[in-house]
Amino acid sequence: MIDHLSTYATDYAATRQFYAAVFEVLGYAIQAEFELNDDEELPNRKICAWGPPGKTTFWVIESKSAIGPRHVAFSSPDRATVDRFHSAGMAAGGTDHGAPGVRAIYHPDYYGAFLLDPDGNNVEAVCHSG
């Protein structure tokens, strides 16, 4: 259903580092990175996108002020990858917002981990199998 989505970063370098770490665990690489030169307030605005090969699905766009917060959940193939996502995000400057574990309130096999990115967005990895 979703073709692509964006989040915004007041500290582009820190946010890029955070997403590079968590997406590496999930198997995604940067598919595009460049500067936009059409905004007089923020010339040379940095922008990058991750996704599977040839697909720019999740964009990070430099911003002068925080926009959000937002919540986004990324699919994980298994629980061990959810655990690695959380560890990698913490090591890359994320803030714990919910350690890996079952969230039975959603359904019995919902296994997720939550982090706050450098701009306070709630970022999750989730596996729906036991």
Quote the pLDDT of residue 45.
95
Retrieve residue 106's tokens.
Answer: 């959603």
- Stretch among 40-44, 61-65, 78-82, 106-110 having the lowest mean pLDDT: 40-44
| Cα–Cα–Cα angle for 48, 50, 53, rounded to 5 degrees | 125
pTM, entire model: 0.92
**In the chain, where the domains are located:** 5-127
CATH fold of 5-127 reads: 2,3-Dihydroxybiphenyl 1,2-Dioxygenase; domain 1 (3.10.180)
